[in-house]
Structure 1
Amino acid sequence: MEKETEMMEITKLSLKGSNSWNEDALVEHPALAMYGVIDGATSLVPFTGENGATGGYYASRIIADFLHGMPSSSGSDWNPAEAMLQANRILHDEMVKQGIRADRKDELWGACAVLIRIEEDFIEYAQAGDCMLAAVYEDGSIRTVTHDQLAHVDNRTRELWAEGVEAGLRTNTELWAHVKPQIINGRNTANTAEGYAVINGDPALSRYIESGRINRIQLKALLLISDGLYMPKPAGFPAADAEEVTRSILDKGLEGYVNWLIQLEEGDPQCLQYPRVKKSDDKTAIWIDFK
């Protein structure tokens, strides 16, 4: 947990979940007023690199390294959407070098991401997948700027997981096997009209990436999160959303909220009470408080 104070206060964290590698990454490039969150997704066909690193780990680091390497001389002559698409091309080239077949979606490394550029009068953003951007205003209102493009895929996975629990499956391993066909089907819809946008080297990302601009009138704070910040919900309850997370962080603080969330997850290690595909997902967030 770190804080920076200049014209704005930035609180940030990135915590590994229950898997071996933290596949999330933070993006901070103050010279370009660039901030972002990246959530790597490993391939369904097993891949391990140096020291057992996963494809999702490589994806988030390749993207973050490219963004951090953008020259400070770029100033405001860049935009988040084009930067994300350039990172997508870099990721493609790196995967090809590792022998990954670009036409096999189950082999691809990938990442969801949200990236912003802060200007005096506006915030520009780009998003792929389910990393989210929320805005908080001086009157306390919350605006969810981005759309969770994976919600329709993840909701079906949670439904199947709950059905497995109802049928008597009792371990994470059994339940994972039960939902794996749905996960494969979901992965095959990446960068299609039936699925979601994801940075996975596929040039079709350019058709589905979301981007835009909001003004800074009465803007008090911004929250960027990976989906590991969503609190789990019991079967039959609507999934958490970015507004609910933002309100909880306003109440508990970022660190307090994450500690509360981890305790909740630890109390349900086999994911029986709260349907989800792993006990604890990687958690990455940036809270920007404008002064």
Structure 2
Amino acid sequence: MHFDLIQSLSLAGNPATPNDDRAGTGDTHGWVIDGATDLGPPGLVGARGGAAWLADRAQRAFTGAAPAESIEGLCEAVAAQLAADYAAARTRDPLDRWELPIAAFLAVRIGDGALECGWLGDCVGLHRRGDSVTRIGPPREAGEAEAQSAASLAQHGLGSVQRSAPILDALRASRNRPGRTVLGVEPEVMTRLRTLRIDCAPGDTLLLMTDGFAALIDSYAAFDEPGLMAALDEQGLDALATRLRAIEREDAACARYPRFKRSDDATALWLRIGG
């Protein structure tokens, strides 16, 4: 079996800032990456921001990865490459842990009759086989903590490109927490890798999403999971992205759906398993 690419899409949350999402697919593996927004100016890894740097390096690592015997082996190889790249690119010590580049990712691999999935962070996937849709990645409830945090800081101005000091302090404090399940520049992050194995067959379809696109089901409840896959078949990714941005424009003050950005980078990868 192998992956066939049906469609991919990646939108910047704000065209004035870099898109820190990435996505790609090979013959038997695919991935989406969501670089976590920088909380300080560039400098740690040179003139480029840490989020864009990490997303680019992770994209290169997944693209160039040698065939692996498992999703764990694939992800461990990527983490080792990132650690080596960081050691070579770092210009100084980080100001604190919040400055270390981090990202969320979801990767899938076709194994022996099974779809192997591995993730860290809040990227989401959907696997459809016939009428059955299986969620891959963290449960929907995992994102509620961030929405609650945003709501608690609403008086300081949500959705602004220039974050206020209280919001920036809160985000930095969150990043400083030890043991976070995210992709980073320390090889031991893969000890926290989450995995799932699903029976698969030719004709199955997959939708891999960064959280900015998965907001359609997780934050805005515009669809349930089977409904999103049905809409994907009927409308394609472009129409779904238009719906996503329309919801966000209608809630530009981030009042109905509390969030730190008016619009996040949004990336989706639509794959089909071929025989």
| Category of TM-score, reference length = shorter chain | 0.7 to 0.9
1:38-91 Cα shifts (integer Å, max 9, x gaps) = 1112442322589963211110110111221234xx3xx433322222222222
- Tell me, yes or no, if the aligned pair for 1:25 and 1:64 is still in contact at 8 Å: yes
- Tell me, yes or no, if the aligned pair for 1:125 and 1:213 is still in contact at 8 Å: yes
Deviation at 1:105, TM superposition (A): 1.7
2:151 to 126, 149, 162: 162
- Tell me, yes or no, if the aligned pair for 2:120 and 2:182 is still in contact at 8 Å: yes
TM-score (norm 2): 0.82
Pair 9,200 (structure 1): closer, same or farther in 2 beyond 3 Å: closer
- Root mean square deviation of aligned Cα: 3.3
Establish whether residue 91 from structure 1 lines up as the match of residue 82 from structure 2: yes
Q: What is residue 34 of structure 1 aligned with on the other side? A: 29
> 2: distance between equivalents of 1:182 and 1:92?
27
1:216-262 Cα shifts (integer Å, max 9, x gaps) = 169731111100113379xxxx8458983552342243221111101
Establish whether residue 250 from structure 1 lines up as the match of residue 230 from structure 2: yes
Pairs within 5 Å for 1:90-169: 90-96=81-87, 97-101=89-93, 104-119=96-111, 121-138=113-130, 140-148=131-139, 152=142, 154-165=143-154, 167=155, 169=157
Note the residue ranges of structure 1 that are not aligned, 5 or more in a row: 1-5
Q: What is residue 228 of structure 1 aligned with on the other side? A: 212
The alignment-based identity, stated in percent, is 22
> 1: distance between equivalents of 2:158 and 2:182?
32
> 2: distance between equivalents of 1:214 and 1:109?
31
Question: Secondary structure at the residue paired with 1:204?
Answer: helix
> 2: distance between equivalents of 1:225 and 1:181?
28
Pair 129,50 (structure 1): closer, same or farther in 2 beyond 3 Å: closer
Question: Secondary structure at the residue paired with 2:30?
Answer: strand
Number of residue pairs matched by the alignment: 268
Question: Secondary structure at the residue paired with 1:172?
Answer: coil
Note the residue ranges of structure 2 that are not aligned, 5 or more in a row: none
Pairs within 5 Å for 1:9-24: 10-18=6-14, 20-24=17-21
1:116-163 Cα shifts (integer Å, max 9, x gaps) = 11246211121111111221121x2321132259x65x5334224324
> 2: distance between equivalents of 1:9 and 1:177?
43
1:160-203 Cα shifts (integer Å, max 9, x gaps) = 432444x585773687544333322321235x1xxx41111123
Pair 283,171 (structure 1): closer, same or farther in 2 beyond 3 Å: closer
> 1: distance between equivalents of 2:188 and 2:153?
34
